[in-house]
Structure 1
Amino acid sequence: MDFKKINALAEAYKSRMSAFLRDMIRIPSESGDEEKVVLRIKEEMERVGFDTVEIDPMGNVHGRIGHGKHVIAMDAHVDTVGVGNPDNWEFDPYEGFEDEETIGGRGASDQEGGMASMVYAGKIIKDLGLTGDYTLVVVGSVQEEDCDGLCWQYIVKELGLKPEFVVSTEPTDGGIYRGQRGRMEIKVDVKGVSAHGSAPERGDNAIFRMGRILGELEQLHTRLKTDAFLGNGSLTVSEIFYTSPSRCAVADGCNISIDRRLTAGEDKESALQQIRDLPAVIDAKAHVCLYHYDKPAYTGLVYSTDCYFPSWILPEDHEVTQAAVATYRRLFDQDPRVDKWTFSTNGVSIMGLLGIPCIGFGPGKEAQAHAPNEKTWKADLVRCAAFYAALPTIYLEKVMLGK
């Protein structure tokens, strides 16, 4: 395999990747509204020569190259968050901008840039004849921003696609990432009894009861488990709601949402039980449960799941990690930074729930995700396209050497 040719061809396709990425940015594609951008991706996959391109019943787009026995997948979610306050943007988030080094717009780093690099990696593979005894499946997945990993639960469980490993192309700040903390979306509900505000002793104020729970949750955060690689578990209260007959009455209901981040060794049941065991929760007879996601995809398909997204770590000595590191070294003649994501990715299902090895390498920076004035770097698109094109062959070399 000629690594100089791979790098040179990736550089040659920089302008085409940039144009493709700008096209995707121009198409608003929040979760549940990805159809138009999926069709644009399908068009580009067909244009560059993928063997087959299909859209599944959930709306994910799958482009395939090759027919070998080793199935390798690469994933980019193609939905984005909204733009937030438009006044925080220095340019139109959908028209975006482009200069010599960067491309701006909603989705540039998170994560339509990864999609652009994957598609042109497929073209590099076809142009240079880098096919072998593998089948590459490039997936543009939907609904990740609403419910990370849901798409891959569907792809594996319902479509039967079970690759030997998956490359997540979420932004990695130039490094190779092999894990992340998990997360949960938890609801705590407290019931009270309303009464006239002039005689609050006649009622039972749900907000006061929740206030004591909030104080204990703040303390629980400081006692959560830590892991040498993933870091601390954490929790924060992200939302608070109430019910009351009026502003002149005792509140008869209060509930909160908790964003719980899970480090290695923490799981759904232990995290829920920590909250259920708090004295204020017991005293208030509060109900603690997971949120449940059941919003339809743009196709109308509903594939529901609990909002539980486990942590995962791919070992440093795993053959997939080693293949990724070797690919980076041979292409770029330097050692990579091997690290982890701060945020959550589709890896929560790919490896966290389903046990399929997952490794990360993607254009852009984590800090750009969900931020105003989001951008990515053209040099990242080029390096990632080269990496994705070379990795399957180097992985097969590792597999054959291990036999």
Structure 2
Amino acid sequence: MMPSTPLIDIASAESLAISLTQQFVKVDTVNPPGNESALARLIGALLAEAGLQTTFHTLADGRESLVAWTGSANEGPKLCFTGHLDTVPFGSAPWSLSPLSGEIQGDRLYGRGSSDMKAGIAAFIAALLRHRETNGQHAAVILVLTAGEETGCEGAKALRTLTQPAFNVGAMVVGEPTANEVVIGHKGALWIRAQAQGITAHGAMPERGDNAIYHAVDAIHKLRLFNFHAPEDDLLGHPTLNVGTISGGLNVNSVPDQALFEVDVRTVCGMPHDKLLDELGAYLGDRVALRAKLDVPALRQEMRSPWIAHVSRMVSQITGSQNGGRAVSFFTDGPVLREIFGAVPTVILGPGEPSMAHKTDEYCNVSSIIAAVNIYARIIEAWERKREQ
């Protein structure tokens, strides 16, 4: 049933999306510490007033993910929209405008999280409400808005223990920044903490010790020669690894008994991370202990999927650009949620500018937000027509 008064006194879905983006940017959800509850509760109240059922899932104090849906939980199939509530820190460089301003200058809406990815969330909500106003009832959708995505999809992983009835999800839109281009894949990420052990001794008598830094250096050299034995993926490319940090030793005149380094491994589909971690451990030997810090699977979809192909055509009609499907370098909650909802067709599609994510003076183009409202509205309408057939 529609509410007796307008949910928000804004004339159009496009202006609503812009206003919501500004409101969301003004809520500080920098991770760490996160504080996503403030934004989750704000959006939850908005959606509850619009007639959606809402639940909040605690990740830590002050940190919640929001799950909201229309109709009954198992009614469906539902179209799932997912996005994350947290943002990365502001950085050390000064901003031209406050990172929490949401100020608009020309076609740019500024603020941390504007592109990554509060504009995407705002645009989908506006499109959903427009559908309700136009059709007199809600579409069959579920929104999953997570905490802790920026630090390893922590909120999405916590949702594996959902206690409400199983949701019947038929397809998923991940609203990450793609400049409104259809993206169908990304590499997986496995971040590894490696610890080399040694025996301390006086630096003037190194033969009495066992230098952990040397063991770390030897291991890093071996990593540079590591062969994944994985064929190139025509969408995702080759798996890669990079040693990003290293530390060891307490003072110059002691043999260090510990050294640490961290490895960023990017994987393609068909590479189970647990097996890869075991393989790397065996390859490096017992001088170095490995532990996974972050583990997010790869995502790969096919343009021949009827739903994905249809979404691509609709996006091309609205934007005027060809959407043949491509991959991105960043990871998303998508593959984690597919473990929960099943291997449903999934696209990554949002108004944010990928080049602005995590940058000083981050912005999202207002015109892209408006286009995203229309894109999401078309996707919702097409989903409802398909369900009614």
TM-score by length of 1: 0.83
**Aligned residue among 147, 152, 156 for 2:156:** 152
**8 A contact 1:314–1:357 mirrored in 2:** yes
Tell me which amino acid in the other structure corresponds to 1:322: A
| Pairing 1:220–2:229 present | no
| Pairing 1:27–2:27 present | yes
Tell me which amino acid in the other structure corresponds to 1:23: Q
**Relative to 1, partners in 2 of residues 1:130 and 1:223: Cα closer, same or farther, differing over 3 Å?**
farther
Structure 1 residues 212-243: Cα deviation after superposition (integer angstroms, max 9, x where no partner): 21122223379765211111211111222325
**Aligned residue among 186, 191, 198 for 1:180:** 186
TM superposition shift of 1:188: 1.6
Tell me which amino acid in the other structure corresponds to 2:252: R
Tell me which amino acid in the other structure corresponds to 1:395: W
Q: Which residue number in structure 2 is paired with residue 107 of structure 1?
A: 113
Alignment of 1:223-234 (within 5 A): 225-234=231-240
**Relative to 1, partners in 2 of residues 1:387 and 1:130: Cα closer, same or farther, differing over 3 Å?**
farther
**Aligned residue among 84, 88, 92 for 1:81:** 88
TM superposition shift of 1:21: 1.2
Unaligned runs of 5+ in 1: 1-9, 292-306
Structure 1 residues 287-346: Cα deviation after superposition (integer angstroms, max 9, x where no partner): 22323xxxxxxxxxxxxxxx3211121121123312312432454566424212210000
**8 A contact 2:249–2:255 mirrored in 1:** no
TM superposition shift of 1:394: 1.7
Unaligned runs of 5+ in 2: 1-9
Question: What secondary structure does 1:186 align onto?
Answer: strand
**Relative to 1, partners in 2 of residues 1:162 and 1:153: Cα closer, same or farther, differing over 3 Å?**
farther
Q: Which residue number in structure 2 is paired with residue 340 of structure 1?
A: 327
Q: Distance in 1 between matches of 2:263 and 2:150?
A: 17
Q: Distance in 2 between matches of 1:76 and 1:334?
A: 24
Q: Which residue number in structure 1 is paired with residue 268 of structure 2?
A: 263
Aligned length: 369
Q: Which residue number in structure 2 is paired with residue 126 of structure 1?
A: 132
TM-score by length of 2: 0.86
Structure 1 residues 56-88: Cα deviation after superposition (integer angstroms, max 9, x where no partner): 34422233334552222101101101111043x
**Aligned residue among 171, 175, 199 for 2:205:** 199
**8 A contact 2:36–2:65 mirrored in 1:** no
**Relative to 1, partners in 2 of residues 1:69 and 1:289: Cα closer, same or farther, differing over 3 Å?**
same
TM superposition shift of 1:12: 3.4
Question: What secondary structure does 1:220 align onto?
Answer: coil
**Relative to 1, partners in 2 of residues 1:198 and 1:225: Cα closer, same or farther, differing over 3 Å?**
farther
Question: What secondary structure does 1:240 align onto?
Answer: strand
TM superposition shift of 1:35: 1.5
**Relative to 1, partners in 2 of residues 1:187 and 1:82: Cα closer, same or farther, differing over 3 Å?**
same
Q: Distance in 2 between matches of 1:237 and 1:332?
A: 40
**Relative to 1, partners in 2 of residues 1:106 and 1:221: Cα closer, same or farther, differing over 3 Å?**
farther
**8 A contact 1:191–1:286 mirrored in 2:** yes
CA RMSD of superposed structures (Å): 2.7
Q: Distance in 1 between matches of 2:227 and 2:105?
A: 44
Q: Distance in 2 between matches of 1:13 and 1:165?
A: 23
**Relative to 1, partners in 2 of residues 1:332 and 1:85: Cα closer, same or farther, differing over 3 Å?**
closer
Q: Distance in 2 between matches of 1:90 and 1:332?
A: 30
Q: Distance in 2 between matches of 1:207 and 1:309?
A: 29
| Pairing 1:312–2:314 present | no
* Aligned residues with identical type, % of pairs: 19
Question: What secondary structure does 2:225 align onto?
Answer: helix
Tell me which amino acid in the other structure corresponds to 1:183: A
Q: Distance in 1 between matches of 2:288 and 2:76?
A: 52
**Relative to 1, partners in 2 of residues 1:11 and 1:64: Cα closer, same or farther, differing over 3 Å?**
same
TM superposition shift of 1:247: 3.1
